Structure 1
Amino acid sequence: MHNRQKKVIFSAGGVFSFACVLIVATAMGTRFWVKATVLCTTGAQLVNATGPELDKFIGSVNYGLFQGQRLKQCGLGGRPFSFSFFPDLVDVIPVSLHGSVLFFCAVLILFSSLCSAFFMYNAFGSPYETLHGPLGLYMWNMSSSVCSCLILILYVSEVKLHRLSESIANYKEGHFVYKTYTEKFEYSFWLVFLVFLTHCLNILLIRLAGVQFPFWEAKESEANTGAADLMY
């Protein structure tokens, strides 16, 4: 492949990686990771509400990594309340799991930045082998993909296994009990999945530029050495 085509491909990879940095940073600051509706079971049982009457007892919760908002309804109208995870919900959420999600988000921003820098360096600079060359491009993009997967897996575990929406809805509630009615992941969560797909696309772009996978090169060199040994 011509050098000009390689420059175009590597430049596109650099732009995509820098876009990943902006996407993750933006997603971390929003509160649109999860949206759930919660049912006030205490109020619904008191009046034996069924069918359309349940709408008066269904509130909502939406939150991200740092903050969120909940709307409580127990038959007397909605009560909006804004909250932050730190320090408000430290005693309610699984802090170690939530901290791991934040840590890997920061690592993903760092690795995506390195991907962007190395793509541009390979496009317009004079890279040498190992970390600054093709091996570095593969390594940082694969590391970013792994970080993206870890963020998604850990966050799903936090929300589903630890019933995060219910814990938030029942925060500082002494008389009413809330249960999750519906729950879905919002667009900020899926932006991280988009980042994962983008880094996978970057790996394909590196291969399209004519750079072999590192482990394929090792296998090919071993095969060639074996053939040479047989000849002599």
Structure 2
Amino acid sequence: MPSRKKTSMFAAAFLTCVCSFVIICVVLATPYWVSSKVHFSGTNSNVTVSLTYGLFSGTCEQLVDAGLLVPTKIFQVAANLGNTKAKSTITAIIVIVVLSLLFSLLSSGFTCTNAVSNPYQTFLGPIGVYTWNSLCAIFILIAMILFPVNIEGNGLSIELSHGCFSALQKHVKSEHAYGYSYWIMLLIIFLNIASIIVIYFYDHARYSKKKEQERPIENAPKDVILF
């Protein structure tokens, strides 16, 4: 059976991993990654399209300068994109976040295993926890970088606007505000770092204690050496 200290340390790491897993599920499920206002100029009037969307779905509405407001429409992100670079990138982001979810699940399993048992010093031990938490944090960071690149560089919001309203003409400018579904990914990164730190402190303390017990006999006090 593991010591009480080991159980408590790995239980704390397990809790952070579970929280990370839950938050990734929220990130995937909620359509509040970004809110965009895309402005278009027409022959007789200017049009503003307001979009709020995530990785899979979103809503859009059209406002004409004359005061005409088109009712809000719900759209599917993939369906509104053609075979463009924006669609390829959003697909890559989905794959990356899903892989992060898998890494978080594996990390939860590894920390739980270490909390209730003493696996051999193999990949099932702290090394595995370090690996899965690091991969999860790195992949989430990549997703956080790719999403704004897709919006700013590949014109994701513009593509989605044309998918919602086909009669739009010349694009003038766009304004973007990233929502909580995007920013809570920072919390996922921090939780994974916290898991790594907790396990590192335990592993370092265990290693130091082991080295202390393996001190050569000549370093021991002479008055306790028996011949």
Q: TM-score range by the shorter chain?
A: 0.7 to 0.9
Of residues 84, 104, 115 in structure 2, which corresponds to 1:112? Answer: 104
The separation in 1 between residues aligned to 2:177 and 2:9, in whole angstroms, is 36
The question of whether the paired residues in 1 share the 8 Å contact of 2:17 and 2:105 is answered with yes
Secondary structure of residue in 2 paired with 1:130: coil
Secondary structure of residue in 2 paired with 1:131: coil
Q: Does 1:24 align with 2:29?
A: no
Secondary structure of residue in 2 paired with 1:128: coil
Q: Which amino acid in the other structure matches residue 52 of structure 2?
A: N
1:91 positional shift = 3.9
The question of whether the paired residues in 2 share the 8 Å contact of 1:165 and 1:180 is answered with no
**CA shift in 2, pair 1:28/1:37, >3 Å:** same
Corresponding residue of 2:68: 77
The separation in 2 between residues aligned to 1:147 and 1:30, in whole angstroms, is 19
Secondary structure of residue in 2 paired with 1:211: helix
Secondary structure of residue in 1 paired with 2:123: helix
How well do the aligned residues superpose, as a CA RMSD in angstroms?
2.4
Q: Does 1:187 align with 2:177?
A: no
Of residues 143, 158, 167 in structure 2, which corresponds to 1:174? Answer: 167
The question of whether the paired residues in 2 share the 8 Å contact of 1:28 and 1:65 is answered with yes
Tell me the alpha carbon deviations over residues 79-107 of structure 1, each in whole angstroms, 9 at most, x when there is no partner: 12211023332445622211111111111
Query: Taking structure 1 as the reference length, what is the TM-score of the superposition?
Result: 0.79
Q: How many residues end up aligned between the 2 structures?
A: 203
Corresponding residue of 1:13: 13
Q: Does 1:144 align with 2:136?
A: yes
Q: Does 1:101 align with 2:93?
A: yes
Identical counterparts, % of pairs: 22
Corresponding residue of 2:197: 204
Secondary structure of residue in 2 paired with 1:108: helix
**CA shift in 2, pair 1:66/1:175, >3 Å:** closer
Tell me the alpha carbon deviations over residues 118-149 of structure 1, each in whole angstroms, 9 at most, x when there is no partner: 11111111211221011111111111111111
The separation in 2 between residues aligned to 1:73 and 1:21, in whole angstroms, is 39
Corresponding residue of 2:37: 37
The separation in 2 between residues aligned to 1:108 and 1:8, in whole angstroms, is 25
The separation in 2 between residues aligned to 1:22 and 1:146, in whole angstroms, is 17
**CA shift in 2, pair 1:38/1:87, >3 Å:** closer
Secondary structure of residue in 1 paired with 2:203: coil
The separation in 1 between residues aligned to 2:12 and 2:155, in whole angstroms, is 40
Q: Which amino acid in the other structure matches residue 113 of structure 2?
A: Y
The question of whether the paired residues in 2 share the 8 Å contact of 1:36 and 1:184 is answered with yes
The question of whether the paired residues in 2 share the 8 Å contact of 1:36 and 1:182 is answered with yes
The separation in 1 between residues aligned to 2:38 and 2:180, in whole angstroms, is 20
Unaligned runs of 5+ in 2: 206-227
The question of whether the paired residues in 2 share the 8 Å contact of 1:30 and 1:64 is answered with yes
Larger Rg: 1 or 2? 2
Corresponding residue of 2:3: 3
Query: Taking structure 2 as the reference length, what is the TM-score of the superposition?
Result: 0.80
The separation in 2 between residues aligned to 1:196 and 1:178, in whole angstroms, is 36
The separation in 2 between residues aligned to 1:32 and 1:149, in whole angstroms, is 18
Unaligned runs of 5+ in 1: 50-56, 213-232
Q: Does 1:66 align with 2:59?
A: no
The question of whether the paired residues in 1 share the 8 Å contact of 2:49 and 2:62 is answered with yes
